[in-house]
Structure 1
């Protein structure tokens, strides 16, 4: 007891010292009135840029649970957020641009439509930048909804105080909102709420403001929670910690310090991944991957700002599989600076230090770790999506080979070789399975005779051979029996074909058909119409990009849809031949509306004009406006229906054609693009746009459409030797051997090459030499370099053949 009295007296002296007047120090617990400084500080719409007098008065009152009357005055504050202003602040763009974009989106405009037909309103931003702004806008809306939901939830649970509400309204993102809300979301009382229930809040605020409090007098034997000095101090500390970490000024300081701090990411191997089974004595692998795959990360650390995107994704996967343990190291510099800042806000140094220490260890530091990891993951996912879409765009724009009868071959050993034959429209002509003798040469192989007869009967002009299992053996078999002597063979990437063949979409398209045969038809169609066929496959199964299986499915699907829409913006779609999978990805359409278009097309034997689209059930004026520019009518009475020119600009287009002296009825003639090029080479586009009373962007689009060449029948230009004939399996490879192959995937650290040995090999960026990174689909010559098992094949680039 004597020792306790001495400690109490010592603290009283410290508190009296802390209570002495200090210059330039705040005198109250509540935040001082100052101009908002946060990036997402709440701003009201134009007529009232600040909170109303009534609401302001409420926010400046001492902290307490909000009464119903006061809650009614503040609950609408979230609804008054101006999304365009917040968007402008976050993305650092002009407010006018943000307002224009939000206005267009509110009217139902899609990004492809804005990027093509309203680009002047958004300062001619590129589609990828528009996508970034759209995602930020969606995050602002999500934050707004979440903030409103949190306020309503806390109000019902009677946990909403004015300080808490103000902290919520000052949150910049969902993570910051969680920092405020996390301690309150539990049904049980938080530590600070329990302390407040004991009536200690006024004493805690006095202590924080530098006023002397006698802790000993607050002790009482009638309540076990207040039975001694240590318990009372702990309760007061929890209240002070709650006040500090929810203060908007502290939150703003945490933001700025986080931007300046150099965090370190540390990873190590988990003990569970090294456990041994009692029965076999072998290592027990409690994961999907071999732990040795992550060997480089068993004792690894790196400054967070130097961590590569693929390293972040590898760490996340290793952590999910319980092979790696990943931590964020926060330097002491962060805490020391935060403490010095808090001392400038309140006077009670002793209680500031105790409260901040408690808030930091329980709330702020764990939140910092989550935030750093989250930001790294988001950045890595964006990079992975960018890699995916870059590869996907190139993949989808694979040159189609039109107007050919094509046989798709899905090779195999035990299951045989599946064959699907299609006509020039992609319709099925025949499907069957062969069982060729690929292991040995048989002069009278019946499979070869049957395939020859079927190819002849259906007048097949091209063979698409899948590059999967038994590809090389089947390729050799086709040559030995002279099947490919008169019919060219194209090696076709078959990633995702098997997955697609068992999908619901495939079963709808080919009811009651063997999935193996559907796969062969898909391979054939990938030659005829790569874009139309590849969009049917789930994006994560297309084999392009990096760590696509670790990216949220929704993100990949959004990236796929966005990429397809951009490509459609380039090439357009013939509404009379487009599939359901293609139509539902057109700007403004969905699956339901696409089905209605197909039903109308079938019933009326096609569309003769764009205007006829309005006759389709559920296609209203807004939907029509969004989709019509991306849907073409070939051979109709209106020549402009076959272009990317929007019907709203037809009058301008016809006036412009007349002005430069060309006839739009001759647009299908081969010399028309060259004629337009000649006529427009020296025109003043600004002056002409004024004369025609249109904007420059619209006129540029019209000129581009006039210059676009009408579809010409593709010739088979790229049927070239792909693989080295001397090597067919991985076991035949030797260091220093030269091979030829095709680039199947391009990633930030290099590219993967298919050399026909059953496994793609990596050309690391350090092995590219003076060459730039090859593009997807490029034919390359490579040299095999040492590759320790079970590492993947390693190549060095010699030259790009195309």
Structure 2
């Protein structure tokens, strides 16, 4: 059943899915499976394997719910063979819950009260639609609790309403109508219409749109506005049409029974069916919007984590500010803090002469190769100041995103790393390290705090966290980790390692010194064969005796590479990087039961350029120095900018002022844009054209001119 379920959702090859499930059940990680078990999976990538993981988990949740429902039905002695077969063959939760609905223990309802008052037989007579004088029959049901005929008929209708609500065919018919025709509409709460905070939602003070076609960002904005109490939200369909469809399924006579059933249908629709299923439809739309928003967030995070590093260079980092001054730190090539102090080049002190002198002397004293300036308050002024300095050596100047730096500086990770320094120093260190290696620094910060998504606080937090964790893990393992310099958070994201083993690796390194070979990793307490198998190839050791220890070649394949070198009459060192020799190797000669052609091709690719960083190198960028505020903008200007956020409806661009400009999806290309990420990437340097400036609302409309 599991195999069939996953294949039906993914359309992947049966053997690929079967082997992947087996590997997952053996506690193999997605990065390890996608990179080192290609023969087993049929070369599935991490996204396809991730889908198998997702549907495997969905299936397990479904099966767990089936077991609970079957147990509950057995306890009630209502489980027939037919019902059991229907439940066991069910392939989605909604259908499963519909099957269980008639037997679900309910709180006290009108129907339950009517049953206790002996009205169920009357309800059955009405539903048979054979009685012509139902009032006379209802008279027989008058008792201590039922005072008159009207009470009897009303109670019977409550029972009928419940039966109608529990009919799967009727529920599915109404679901279909909601899916195809539902409209979401909004109205402003009049007492909140002039509230300052409500103004950002004023587009939705009176709004109506198809629920099926509403873009994810708009639905999330509407639901946030409702949550904050500024608007009221309603789901609407054609009630008359919906009621007619239910009538046609039930009413087959033209007598007084039919009249009572029609009243019961109306009651079931208004009181039970529509409230429940319209909420379900809105929940499904919200779930779909969440998935879209999470996908955008995940793509943005991936681009951010794989941002261009400057590498192991000595950096002077500046966290700019006015009144509190600019915090300076000098970092060595490995990101270690060597010096820190504060300068005051901007108002109110305006001591720019001393600031310039200090920066120049520090650059020379610590042999600085690059300067990183945070992009927050006073960033532009600080960048202009630094560019005035005549350095003795060629020093590149970069503006670096500060997003999340304050989160890191106040975190336990930062306190443990720099217990004797305050948050301002830690924040400056983070800015400098982001230039050296964005991935290594950003993994220390909760991904939701980095600020590259939209409505991240409105989407399902568990799903968001899970997806972002996967992104971090995939990025870390795609790049690889230097085990001798990596922090605990970075090590934690390595395949098969996790927080506890990461801490053990870190402590072992501090106690015994650097790891000299991958074999040494096995000496770490509690790091067993499985963890070594999963993680060893993603952990790199610089200047190791065996050059393969600084490559993505898995230790299980070392023997094959050694055989290649022996057959070619060269040493391992002479084989690695020698394209001429590697090009002519006959790979079929080295195929075994465990190592196939796909793995061998990967090995050759790695041996040609061992340890190659998949990321591009960082590039210097300059904003237009004449643009200092939104009032300096005018229509038609061409400006350099950096993409600082991507959404489903476009992207935001930093053009060097406080407000970011928006390139709406329609202004990214003259052709239809299916995916914003196909046209721009996070932190990409582009040229934009100013289309419109709304100073009062602080909104800037841009068009992509060129990259």
- Aligning the two structures, in what range does the TM-score lie when normalised by the shorter sequence? 0.7 to 0.9
Q: Find the aligned partners of 1:714 and 1:220 in 2 and give their Cα distance.
A: 83
Partner of 1:313: 220
Question: Tell me, what secondary structure is at the counterpart of 2:53?
Answer: helix
Q: Which one of 606, 630, 636 corresponds to residue 730 of structure 1?
A: 630
Counterpart check, 1:799 vs 2:700: no
Partner of 1:237: 157
Counterpart check, 1:111 vs 2:111: no
Q: Find the aligned partners of 1:191 and 1:605 in 2 and give their Cα distance.
A: 74
Q: Find the aligned partners of 2:291 and 2:262 in 1 and give their Cα distance.
A: 40
Partner of 1:402: 311
Partner of 1:768: 668
Q: Aligned in 2, Cα 1:354/1:663: closer, same or farther, shift over 3 Å? A: farther
Question: Aligned-pair distance for 1:168?
Answer: 6.9
* TM-score, length of structure 1 as denominator length: 0.77
Counterpart check, 1:679 vs 2:567: no
Counterpart check, 1:293 vs 2:200: yes
Question: Aligned-pair distance for 1:416?
Answer: 0.9
Counterpart check, 1:456 vs 2:364: yes
Counterpart check, 1:536 vs 2:536: no
Partner of 1:786: 692
Partner of 1:374: 283
Q: Find the aligned partners of 1:395 and 1:665 in 2 and give their Cα distance.
A: 34
Partner of 2:462: 554
Question: Tell me, what secondary structure is at the counterpart of 1:491?
Answer: strand
- 1:476-522 deviation per Cα after TM superposition (whole angstroms, max 9, x unaligned): 22234546985321111111111211122221221142101111000
Counterpart check, 1:752 vs 2:652: yes
Q: Find the aligned partners of 2:697 and 2:157 in 1 and give their Cα distance.
A: 55
Counterpart check, 1:701 vs 2:602: yes
CA RMSD of superposed structures (Å): 3.7
Q: Find the aligned partners of 1:719 and 1:303 in 2 and give their Cα distance.
A: 46
Question: Aligned-pair distance for 1:525?
Answer: 0.3
Partner of 1:323: 230
- 1:715-755 deviation per Cα after TM superposition (whole angstroms, max 9, x unaligned): 976224x1112222233333333322222222232222112
Q: Aligned in 2, Cα 1:757/1:214: closer, same or farther, shift over 3 Å? A: closer
Q: Find the aligned partners of 1:309 and 1:739 in 2 and give their Cα distance.
A: 30
* TM-score, length of structure 2 as denominator length: 0.87
Q: Aligned in 2, Cα 1:209/1:738: closer, same or farther, shift over 3 Å? A: same
Partner of 2:674: none
Ranges in structure 2 where 5+ consecutive residues have no aligned partner: 672-677
Q: Find the aligned partners of 1:658 and 1:307 in 2 and give their Cα distance.
A: 63
* Counterpart contact for 2:101–2:166, Cα < 8 Å: no
* Counterpart contact for 2:119–2:141, Cα < 8 Å: no
Q: Find the aligned partners of 1:406 and 1:530 in 2 and give their Cα distance.
A: 14
Report the count of equivalent residues: 696
* Counterpart contact for 1:391–1:544, Cα < 8 Å: yes
Q: Find the aligned partners of 1:567 and 1:783 in 2 and give their Cα distance.
A: 33
* Counterpart contact for 1:545–1:747, Cα < 8 Å: yes
Q: Find the aligned partners of 1:161 and 1:311 in 2 and give their Cα distance.
A: 45
Matches within 5 A, 1:260-279: 261-274=180-193
Question: Aligned-pair distance for 1:581?
Answer: 0.8
- 1:652-693 deviation per Cα after TM superposition (whole angstroms, max 9, x unaligned): 44456667787533355xx435653x326xx6x7x5576676
- 1:614-640 deviation per Cα after TM superposition (whole angstroms, max 9, x unaligned): 332222333333222322233334433
Counterpart check, 1:137 vs 2:56: yes
* Counterpart contact for 1:497–1:519, Cα < 8 Å: yes
Q: Aligned in 2, Cα 1:635/1:294: closer, same or farther, shift over 3 Å? A: same
Q: Aligned in 2, Cα 1:234/1:735: closer, same or farther, shift over 3 Å? A: same
- 1:48-86 deviation per Cα after TM superposition (whole angstroms, max 9, x unaligned): xxxxxxxxxxxxxxxxxxxxxxxxxxxxxxxxxx44444
Ranges in structure 1 where 5+ consecutive residues have no aligned partner: 1-81, 275-282
* Counterpart contact for 1:639–1:667, Cα < 8 Å: no
Question: Tell me, what secondary structure is at the counterpart of 2:694?
Answer: coil
Q: Find the aligned partners of 1:243 and 1:295 in 2 and give their Cα distance.
A: 43
Q: Find the aligned partners of 1:211 and 1:170 in 2 and give their Cα distance.
A: 36
Q: Find the aligned partners of 1:468 and 1:484 in 2 and give their Cα distance.
A: 28
* Counterpart contact for 2:322–2:348, Cα < 8 Å: no
Partner of 1:418: 327
* Counterpart contact for 2:3–2:18, Cα < 8 Å: yes
Q: Aligned in 2, Cα 1:674/1:471: closer, same or farther, shift over 3 Å? A: farther
